[in-house]
Copies of this chain bind each other. A is one copy, B any other.
Amino acid sequence: MSTAAVADTRPYHHGDLRRALVDAAIRILEREGPSALSLRAVAREAGVSPAAPYHHFKDKGELLEAVAHVGWEALGDGMSAVQDGVTELSSLMTEIGVAYVRFSQDHPALYRVMYDTARDKDSLPEGMQDKEDGAYCLVRNTFRDAAGPDVPAVDIELATIAAWCAAHGLAEMSGFAQFNPLKEAFGGDAGFLRAVLSHLGMFQSKRGDPT
């Protein structure tokens, strides 16, 4: 009945429980999916009582926000990683889009949490638009650098938002059964993604002409 055995591995005051809880949540997400992500399961995974998380997060939603934040950072890293190898704008934007969709395919549960919290707040994470290192800014800056100084800022913004909508839409649906025939026609998943993103003209930096 001694506490020694427990205290051996886990001291009463966890060093950085907040971080440990976020890590545990992501581990559960990757292992069992979003439906298994309960606060109690996270506490269990971290080896702590069900009430412990409430000393670090106001409620479950705040934990999910922290999880989503980690996800957005990882997504931004994945997107900026493709920048180095590509120089041409059209290829660059398409490859950034592919990296975006790939992330959603590699971490579907995390991606779902990211957008669930975004939908609840009706906003992408604050700071993504203003800060210079966010994933959203990466896209906008790429458009801005390529467009030159004579293109109005509003058109840059339009292109960014349109590209983001296209990438998100494709990310959410690229796994749908309806796409399978077309994937084969375009030589697999990668070819399919590039075909859709190219078709949507992600690389356009100006507003479409009225036809």
Query: Interface of A with B (CB < 8 Å)?
Result: 88, 90, 112, 115, 118-119, 122-124, 128-129, 136, 154, 157-159, 161-162, 164-170, 172-173, 175-179, 181-182, 185-186, 195-196, 198-201, 203-204, 207-208, 210-211
Contact = CB atoms under 8 A, between A and B. Distances in A.
Contacts of A129: 178
A154 B181 CA distance: 9
Nearest to A115: B172
Centre residue among A164, A173, A181, A182 by max chain B CB count within 10 A: A173
A165 B157 contact: no
A104 B177 CA distance: 22
Contacts of A201: 199-201, 204, 208
Given A161-B182, A211-B203, A118 B176 contact: yes
A149 to B, nearest CB: 19
Contacts of A198: 207-208, 210
A2 to B, nearest CB: 43
Given A162-B196, A195-B207, A199-B159, A182 B169 contact: no
